[in-house]
């Protein structure tokens, strides 16, 4: 019985992983993203996956509040995103 439930859990995880990968691919095409190497693409996918989880968790927890969505920064580390926003603010101030 344990083996069967572990197999079902693995199967579900595999399906979810494939769905997230397809979503990443579609988002990258839609946003005009391209990556120079497979290593870079895998790195960016991990950031995307983590942000997607955070977005879905927030939207589930607060369905009647402000809804979060994917952005052009969804494949960047939080620090990269914050740096890009600060740079943009400085350009606007100048």
CATH fold, domain 2-93, is Helix Hairpins (1.10.287)
Q: Would you list the DSSP string of 42-90?
A: HHHHHHHHHHHHHHHHHHHH-TTSPPP---TTTTS-HHHHHHHHHHHHH
Q: What mean pLDDT, rounded, does the chain reach?
A: 86
pLDDT confidence tier of residue 11, bands split at 50, 70 and 90: low
User: Per residue in 12-35, pLDDT tens?
Assistant: 567 788 999 999 999 999 999 999
Helix (H) or strand (E) holding 26: helix 2-30
pLDDT value, residue 16: 80
Measured CA to CA in angstroms, residue 14 lies from 21, 41, 49 at distances of 11, 19, 14
pTM of the model: 0.76
């Amino acid at each position: 019985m344990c083996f069967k439930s572990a197999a079902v859990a693995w199967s579900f995880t595999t399906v979810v992983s494939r769905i997230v990968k397809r979503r990443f691919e579609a988002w990258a095409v839609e946003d005009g993203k391209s990556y120079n190497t497979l290593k870079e693409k895998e790195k960016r996918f991990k950031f995307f996956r983590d942000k997607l989880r955070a977005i879905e968790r927030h939207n589930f927890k607060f369905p009647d509040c402000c809804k979060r969505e994917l952005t052009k920064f969804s494949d960047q580390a939080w620090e990269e995103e914050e740096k890009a926003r600060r740079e943009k603010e400085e350009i606007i101030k100048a």
